[in-house]
Structure 1
Amino acid sequence: MIAVLLGSTGRAPVAAVLALIAVIAALSWLAVRREWRGIHSLAGLLEGWNEQKPDPQVFNPARLPKRSDADLVALAHALHGFAERIAGYTERERNFTRDASHELRSPLTVIKMSADLLDNETALTSSGLRSVRRIRRAAREMEALVESFLVLAREADIGRNDEEYVVNDVLQRELAELRQLLEGRPVELALEEPARFALQGSSRVFAVLCWQLIRNAAQHAGEGRIVLSVLSDAVTVTSTAQEGGLAPAHSGFELAIAQRISERFGWTLEIENQSGAQRVARIRFPHPLPA
């Protein structure tokens, strides 16, 4: 074609050359546009994905434009299969945590109620009474542990039960249960409230986190006090260490659980050993609300 345009003189009119360039550019643009149309459609499907409510049909290849590239259709098929696996996993996770919550809490409730009844029996010896109280305390500790594991397992439920709650009110409600958790230990639990603030989220998650920090503090507190303090943007748990020195700053299974809960919900957990025989666990909240 170029040879025809050149003709016998070997020179092509400028207009003909420009027209040829324009035609080639237009054809190239149409080809690229056809390829990118499918990619743009797939990107739109990706934008419609909701990780809280995964719907595999978002990646259904039938939603792509007709005459899409074969590789693009294969990619959509792969994403659709992957989305189905994620949705199935999320559903199994939700079913498991629901069933585990019921199956684990029911026997713990029976143990606690039986221990409470035995505690009121006048025929029990002093050693039997001590054993009953150890059983009751162990049941409460197990209940707190189960609650913590369920909180960590319910990733799909994060944000579903959000509410605005006052930190001080939650701690005041939990104080009686926390004292029962320490029953039988020579430890005094106190709540100090120099400040007052609220949070947006799950009050139960916050309570479970405090339970774990109290349990850890009880492991290190001798015959002393554990003090819960509410500051302007933080909650601290201060405990007196057992005789023989302080344990490492980040020791304890309870602290590991508390750290995972804090990371899950964007809070900052700090552990430090202060002068004397005190350990301070501090939870900082980046977005406190006025109470």
Structure 2
Amino acid sequence: MRTTQRHIREIFLLQLAIVCLVVVLCVLGVQAMYGASAMSWLTVAALVIALGATISVTWMGYRATQRAVAPMDWVLKEVARWDPQHPDTAALAPGSVPSVVQGDARKMADALHALGQRLETYVARERDFTRDASHELRTPLTVIRVATDLIGHDEGLSVRSRRSLARIQGAAESMESLMSALLLLARDEDVPLETEDFDVREVLEHELHKVRPLLEDKGVSLALDVQAEPVLHAPPRVLQVMLGNLLSNAVRFTDVGSVHVRLLQDRVEIEDTGIGMDAAALARAFEPFYRASIEQPTGAGLGLSIAQRLGHRCGWPLHLASVPGQGTRASILFAAVNRDQ
């Protein structure tokens, strides 16, 4: 709005300069035609009066223009104060808008206030739904976990049945971790996370144990290279979900070769020799429900999106590098320094 006011002042000064130039040209013209004697004091007085009247009218137009844009200026100033994460729409409530704000500016203030309220309601509804759905899903998952634990104590189970039971337990555990992750994402960013000290290697080995059976039928090797053993102070379930999604993708899209996992002091790298992605697919890899090709193995399309959002929530950037036909490397960078350093 300051730019608009500057433009108004510039237009006023330009008008004033034009008027002065016209008066000067008129005086010079009269002198040229009739000589200096023709410029009697009456003529000079008339020109001065005309010049004063013109300047007065121009000034009143300038002030009227300022008053006309003042209501919109007030609205824009209030909107400029909004925090993008938590917009304060109360300032545009009907009872808070000054009486001088009328006409189109009033309509805009009312529309922005209504839009802000709708957005707040939408965000609150989505957050409540995610929280409530996650809590409700915990009940059947708890039943599945207890039932599978009881079945696991049956010594009469065959090896095949125990393998299937282990898959059920792993899927239920992954589902519980996902529910925890969704609850974390549903929280406001101002709410502190429930953190604890944990060994990254333990979480990583646990997730590797869950995906190993999926690679046995493919003949794809899975290797872990431990170069450091960082200890982080963060929500361990978040890292569990991120690693689970990345390892699941590596297993799903790799039919020949290997999946190589490296644990370093400041990161975890998961590199596969799968189908890879081109630049266009890589640029959209974190979009929810995006799949580069319908011929690729089925999936919900939410894994990378959730992993990226979780990483952003905890300060762990997730980076992808990929070459079509050669494979993909996913890296989780730890912002926090482990306690051993």
Contact 1:195/1:232 (8 A) holds in 2: yes
Distance of 1:179 and 1:127 partners within structure 2: 20
Q: Which residue number in structure 1 is paired with residue 244 of structure 2?
A: 211
* Cα shift readout 1:164-212 (whole Å, capped 9, x = no counterpart): 999xx5633423531452364546563523697989x977545422220
TM-score w.r.t. structure 2 length? 0.63
Contact 2:75/2:109 (8 A) holds in 1: yes
Distance of 1:96 and 1:59 partners within structure 2: 28
Distance of 2:80 and 2:269 partners within structure 1: 41
State the AA in 1 paired with 2:106.
Answer: V
Quick check: 1:138 aligned with 2:171? yes
Q: Which residue number in structure 1 is paired with residue 330 of structure 2?
A: 282
* Cα shift readout 1:72-102 (whole Å, capped 9, x = no counterpart): 1111111111111111111111111110111
Q: Which residue number in structure 1 is paired with residue 188 of structure 2?
A: 157
Structure holding more strand per residue: 1
Contact 1:193/1:231 (8 A) holds in 2: yes
2:227 to 177, 187, 193: 193
Contact 2:177/2:240 (8 A) holds in 1: no
State the AA in 1 paired with 2:70.
Answer: R
2:319 to 268, 279, 288: 268
Distance of 1:204 and 1:40 partners within structure 2: 48
Contact 1:213/1:255 (8 A) holds in 2: no
Quick check: 1:30 aligned with 2:63? yes
Distance of 1:137 and 1:164 partners within structure 2: 23
Cα deviation for residue 18 of structure 1 reads 2.8
User: CA 1:147–1:136 in 2, change beyond 3 Å: closer, same or farther?
Assistant: same
- SS of the residue 1:123 aligns to: coil
User: CA 1:236–1:274 in 2, change beyond 3 Å: closer, same or farther?
Assistant: farther
**Structure of higher CA gyration radius:** 2
Q: Which residue number in structure 1 is paired with residue 206 of structure 2?
A: 177
Distance of 2:169 and 2:108 partners within structure 1: 56
Q: Which residue number in structure 2 is paired with residue 63 of structure 1?
A: 96
- SS of the residue 1:132 aligns to: helix
- SS of the residue 1:63 aligns to: coil
- SS of the residue 1:157 aligns to: coil
Distance of 1:193 and 1:34 partners within structure 2: 69
Contact 2:130/2:183 (8 A) holds in 1: no
User: CA 1:164–1:110 in 2, change beyond 3 Å: closer, same or farther?
Assistant: closer
The correspondence of residues 231-246 of structure 1 with structure 2, limited to 5 A, is 235-239=268-272, 246=274
Contact 2:246/2:330 (8 A) holds in 1: no
Cα deviation for residue 34 of structure 1 reads 1.1
State the AA in 1 paired with 2:206.
Answer: E
- SS of the residue 1:182 aligns to: helix
- Which structure 2 residue ranges, 5 or more long, are not aligned? 1-41, 278-291
Contact 2:228/2:263 (8 A) holds in 1: yes
Cα deviation for residue 26 of structure 1 reads 2.0
RMSD over aligned CA atoms reads 4.1
- Which structure 1 residue ranges, 5 or more long, are not aligned? 1-8
Q: Which residue number in structure 2 is paired with residue 6 of structure 1?
A: none
User: CA 1:273–1:161 in 2, change beyond 3 Å: closer, same or farther?
Assistant: farther
- SS of the residue 2:160 aligns to: helix
